[in-house]
Amino acid sequence: MHTGKSEEDAMTQIDRGVMHAALTRVATKAAAFADELNAADGQLGDGDLGITVSRGFAEAAEATLPEDMGMALLECAKAFQRVSASSYGTLLATGFMAAAKSAKGSHAIEPEDLAGLIAAARDAMMARGKGNLGDKTVLDSLDRVARALDGVPPDLMARAALDAAKDTLHDFRGRPCKLGRARMFAEKSAELDDPGQLALLRIIEAATAEEC
Report the alpha-carbon distance of residue 126 to residue 139 in Å, rounded.
Answer: 7
Residue 148 has a pLDDT of 98
Residue 201 host element (H or E): helix 195-207
Q: Is the pTM of this model over 0.75?
A: yes
Residue 212 has a pLDDT of 67
Q: Are 49 and 196 in contact (CB under 8 A)?
A: yes
Average pLDDT over residues 99-103: 97
Domain boundaries, the chain: 13-207
Residue 191 has a pLDDT of 78
> 118 vs 8, which has greater pLDDT?
118
pLDDT > 50? residue 11: no
Neighbours of 174 (CB within 10 A): 8
Of 103-117, 166-180, 185-199, the poorest mean pLDDT is in: 185-199
Query: What CATH topology corresponds to 13-207?
Result: 1.25.40
Average pLDDT over residues 151-167: 96
Residue 46 has a pLDDT of 82
